Amino acid sequence: MTQPIKLSGKDLFNGRQLLGPDKVLILDKSGRVADIVDKNEAGGDIQELDGILSPGFVNTHCHLELSHMKGMIPEKTGLPAFLTAVMTRRGAPSPDTDAQLAAAETAMWEQGISAVGDICNGTATLPQKQQGRLYYHSFIECMGFIDAAAGQRFEQSLAVYRQFQETISPQHRCSLAPHAPYSVSATLFGLLAGLENNTPLTIHNQESEAENILYRQKTGPFLEFYEHFGMDISGFSAGHASSLQACLPYLSGSPLLLVHNTFSAEADMLAAQERALPVYWCLCPLANLYIEDRLPDIDLLRRTGCTVALGTDSLASNHQLSIWAEIQAIRERYPEIPLAELLQWATFNGAQALGIGDRYGSFEQGMQPGVVVIGEAGVTRVV
Ligand SMILES: [Zn+2]
Cα separation, 52 vs 357, in Å, equals 21
CA of 26 to the centre of ligand 1 (A): 37
Q: Which of 228, 177, 235, 229 lies closest to 205 in space, CA to CA?
A: 177
CA of 118 to the centre of ligand 1 (A): 9
Confidence (pLDDT) at 92: 64
Look up residue 257 and give its amino acid. L
Confidence (pLDDT) at 93: 63
Cα separation, 141 vs 176, in Å, equals 6
CA of 370 to the centre of ligand 1 (A): 25
CA of 260 to the centre of ligand 1 (A): 8
Q: Do 39 and 98 fall into the same domain?
A: no
Q: Do 28 and 149 fall into the same domain?
A: no
Q: Do 119 and 35 fall into the same domain?
A: no
CA of 158 to the centre of ligand 1 (A): 20
CA of 319 to the centre of ligand 1 (A): 14
CA of 4 to the centre of ligand 1 (A): 40
Question: Which residue stretches of the chain have pLDDT < 50?
Answer: none
Q: Do 14 and 111 fall into the same domain?
A: no
Look up residue 146 and give its amino acid. I
Q: Do 32 and 97 fall into the same domain?
A: no
How many separate domains does the chain show? 2
210 is in which domain, residue-wise? 57-360
36: CATH: 2.30.40.10
Q: Do 327 and 374 fall into the same domain?
A: no
CA of 78 to the centre of ligand 1 (A): 14
Q: Do 244 and 369 fall into the same domain?
A: no
Q: Do 316 and 374 fall into the same domain?
A: no
CA of 372 to the centre of ligand 1 (A): 25
- Taking only the tens place, the pLDDT of each residue in 37-63 is 999 999 999 999 999 999 999 999 999
Q: Do 344 and 217 fall into the same domain?
A: yes
Confidence (pLDDT) at 1: 55
CA of 314 to the centre of ligand 1 (A): 7
Residues 6 or more apart whose CB falls under 8 angstroms from that of 270 comprise: 304
CB-based burial of residue 217 (10 Å sphere; 0-12 exposed, 13-18 middle, 19+ buried)? Answer: exposed
Cα separation, 73 vs 77, in Å, equals 9
Q: Do 153 and 301 fall into the same domain?
A: yes
Q: Do 171 and 23 fall into the same domain?
A: no
CA of 12 to the centre of ligand 1 (A): 32
Residue 301, number of CB atoms within 10 A of its CB: 18
CA of 226 to the centre of ligand 1 (A): 19
CA of 36 to the centre of ligand 1 (A): 37
CA of 317 to the centre of ligand 1 (A): 9
CA of 360 to the centre of ligand 1 (A): 22
CA of 309 to the centre of ligand 1 (A): 14
3-state SS assignment for residue 188: helix
Q: Which of 212, 149, 210, 155 lies closest to 184 in space, CA to CA?
A: 149
CA of 63 to the centre of ligand 1 (A): 6
Cα separation, 124 vs 347, in Å, equals 27
CA of 29 to the centre of ligand 1 (A): 36
Cα separation, 94 vs 188, in Å, equals 31
Confidence (pLDDT) at 26: 98
Q: Do 316 and 230 fall into the same domain?
A: yes
315: CATH: 3.20.20.140
CA of 67 to the centre of ligand 1 (A): 12
